[in-house]
Amino acid sequence: MKVSATASAQRLPLRPLIALFVAGLITTLTEALPAGVLPQMSRALGVSESVAGQTVTIYAVGTLLTAIPVTLATASWPRRHLLLVALAGFVVANLVTAVSLSFPVTMGARFIAGASSGVVWSLLGGYASRLVGPGLKGRAMAFAMAGTPVALSLGVPVGAYLGKAVGWQLTFGAVTALTGLLILWTLWSLPNFPGQKAEDRVPLRRILRLHGIRTVLAVTGAFVLAHTILYTYIAPILTAAGLQEQVQWILLDFGIASILSIWLTGVLIDRHHRKLVVLSTALFAVAAGVLAVAASSPAVDYVTVAAWGLAFGGAATLLQSALMRAAGKHADAAQSSMVTTWNLGIGLGGLAGGALLAGFGPESLIIAAVVLLVPTALAVLLARTHAFPARNSVSGR
């Protein structure tokens, strides 16, 4: 399949973008699905729920340990070939998870799933931007990456329902079948862009020295760390505020706002990228600040969490597009460092949040988020030259 430059400049190529969207959805769904079926998994595997929860941890470990080395080792591979190998990894991992009653075997399968995730996330942004002309790069990236908030807000609750209705193993089997269909769709719809030529490759350490790269990664790490501290422990935060019966509805509020954020990001990113990054980080900082002083009010919580969702939903697209612009032709290699930073933020957020909750109580989680987000928002505001330049287009026009 060929994507004409003229056509790409005028409209989004939906067939290939749908393939990328579903790839992102399966990646996030595979990561988070154990949370929705944890009681059933723990009983079947003969371990406690806290131990079964490590199936989520090992997924993140797999991504952290493999994203950069695998991306660098496969830099010369044709892009569709690499994506298909990663999707095949999901098929194997989810199928083994669906049939395994051995905890060690399940953990091994989850590690493979995490490694596949690192490859997919390293590809999504660059693949989407190569499908379209300069004026649509941001919109294409937003479309391709919308699978994450959709999976978190809709896919995981649906998976939890299916886990209770038909069992957790059939639920993982359904994800396996969906991935198989996606492989066929990918073969039909995605052009096979070439990888990077050997003579064009440079060491990752040199890429990380490019202007703006480290600033974008630092902002990403702090943003994700603050989000994970709040999101992972939102239940005890709301319980301390006397709102334990509202947790599921407040999370739905967050999910709806996140999806709206993805849509708004897609519409506006190509013309107002810097403004959106500034607004996203500032809005998150303000929302955390309001939670710190008024978390006991249901009305305030719903409005504040919606603002947080608006700040978070488009953040991955905004930050990845900033990194790609700063990295130029080395975007795919740079994206692997973004994947690693993002997952490091998730891992540290879970650990730091648990330590703060145990040692200082739920209020300390909100304070920690504010402490992280205020300097992050200031860093974005000041980084006008390289990391988040004041230009109207993601393509750098």
Mean pLDDT, residues 94-113 taken together? 94
Under the phi-then-psi rule, with left for phi > 0, alpha for psi from -120 to 50, and beta for the rest, what region is 69? Answer: alpha
Which tens digit of pLDDT belongs to each residue from 90-99? 999 999 999 9
Q: How many CB atoms lie within 10 A of CB 280?
A: 23
pTM for the complete prediction? 0.77
Helices marked H in the chain: 5-10, 14-36, 38-45, 49-52, 54-73, 79-99, 103-130, 137-144, 147-150, 156-166, 168-189, 204-207, 213-232, 234-240, 247-294, 298-313, 315-327, 331-360, 363-382
Query: How far is 276 from 270, CA to CA, in rounded Å?
Result: 10
From residue 157, give the alpha-carbon distance in Å to each of 309, 368, 382. 17, 28, 39
Residue 4's pLDDT is what?
44
User: In the chain, what percentage of residues exceed pLDDT 70?
Assistant: 90
Residue 199's pLDDT is what?
54
From residue 53, give the alpha-carbon distance in Å to each of 34, 58, 110, 141, 226. 7, 9, 11, 31, 21
